[in-house]
Amino acid sequence: MVIEQLYTKCLSEAAYFIASNGEAAVIDPLRDVDEYIKKAEELGVKIKYIFETHFHADFVSGHLELAKCTGAPIVYGPGAETGFAVHLAKDGEEFTVGNLKIKALHTPGHTVESTSYLLYNEAGNPHCIFTGDTLFVGDVGRPDLFSGNMSKEELAGMMYESLNSKIKSLPDDVVVYPAHGPGSSCGKNLGAETFSTIGQQKTTNYALQDMTKEEFIKAVTEGLSTPPAYFPVNAKINKEGYSTMDKLMETAMTPLSVAELKEKMANDVWLLDTRPATEFTQAFIPGAISIGLEGRFAEWAGSLLPFDQPLVLVTDPGKEEESVIRLARVGFENVQGYLEGGLSTWIDAGEEIDMIIDIEPDELAMDMPHDNRLEVIDVRKPTEYDAGHVKGAANVPLDTMKDIFNIALISSENNLYVHCAGGYRSVIAASLLKRQGYHNLRNVLGGFSKMKDQKGLKIVTTEKESA
């Protein structure tokens, strides 16, 4: 028996590969499916089933791509309505993979069709359960995403029933394999681990404690942050279908000369620079948006870039394909090529470059008393800001900067010092501001993690500042 968790950290996503006696199944695959096919070849097994726990909102699944490559059927739970052929599992329906048995357990709540898959080992005993977004380590799936006409309270009520009738009754030693780990926006506050056991979760997970349905609904629905803007787009793609990776790559992997890049930019094609933030600030093509591959790249691209907007890329040489694949994972299918040779090609051609000035926190502390036009722009989440920020700083969360109106509220007359927690998000924000004509910018290196200990910077909480 082989059970392998294939974890993609930048998306906080876990896919699973199961194999036994010449057969295999894949659960919740990513869009780029080469890893699953290679693993099947290495183990000498045939992929028999592709199980989907629900319509994912935070990434484009590889179900269609993998089915095309292997001929394996796509399995969804009860109530799933798709634009392509699937096997709709009945609640309690069993599937065999080699000497293993997998039972579909309909566990609605995160979505209506959400289904967990309980795996029985060769001895016929429950061994592990793949819970999708129904149960996480320390949390449960939020009930306010792709919900059709149902309210979050109605779905939370369904989640209560699913957990109490299908999950909590399982043996304590059953391993819990969820679809996401820490950092995912599919829950409120996922734990640090990517797997657990039923017994551990019954002890530590707030959602599995004894409470009434009304108490549960309140606990699960309160404190929900606004979900990323791309979630409905991805859920729709997963439900209706998408282009193959081969077709997408034909256009996206087109090398462009400087002249060809300039022509595309003149035709309102957006330029996305995927180099590290520390490289971007030193030199970039005017108008480029920075989203570095070193961070939660796909998530921020999905949150900030329009899906109907053609894109061209500037990458470090050799990072072109990775950039395209990671964009495709969240549904971007209109990449029209990349600058051949990267930024050095642009510079060697004598073209204009721009830059963002980086400063250390001590420089900010020295400038603040002497510049009455200085404004600190904190692009962290409101919860981060509330817990501690520079006194007088304006909170403009990065995910709100997709709306030009929010950027327009920032004064172009002030000297702007932009920061986040560590320096990644602030460079994205600075590039968006640059693109809108803000040039009196400074990027604070190290972000709040360094600023909070800087002598001369007064750090306050929102509660204390408003008192």
- Residue ranges of the domains in the chain? 2-233, 243-348, 357-466
User: Is the distance from CB of 145 to CB of 186 less than 8 angstroms?
Assistant: yes
Please state which CATH class domain 357-466 belongs to.
alpha beta
- Say yes or no: do domains 2-233 and 357-466 share a fold: no
Report the DSSP beta bridge partners of residue 76. 88
Q: Whole-angstrom Cα distance, residue 257 to residue 71?
A: 40
Give 132's contacts (C-beta < 8 A, 6+ positions apart). Answer: 28, 53, 54, 107, 110, 114, 115, 116, 141, 178, 179
Residues of the chain with pLDDT under 70: 146-148, 466-467
The pLDDT of residue 146 is 67
Residue 262, Cβ density class (10 Å: 0-12 exposed, 13-18 middle, ≥19 buried): middle
Q: What is the CATH number of domain 2-233?
A: 3.60.15.10
Q: Whole-angstrom Cα distance, residue 444 to residue 365?
A: 11
User: Is the distance from CB of 414 to CB of 397 less than 8 angstroms?
Assistant: no
Assess if CATH 3.90.1150.10 describes domain 243-348.
no
The pLDDT of residue 467 is 57
The pLDDT of residue 225 is 85
Give 9's contacts (C-beta < 8 A, 6+ positions apart). Answer: none
Q: Look at strands 196-197 and 74-76 and give their pairing.
A: unpaired
The pLDDT of residue 465 is 72
Displacement of CA 126 from its chain's centroid (Å):
31
User: Is the distance from CB of 112 to CB of 97 less than 8 angstroms?
Assistant: no
3-state secondary structure of 127: strand
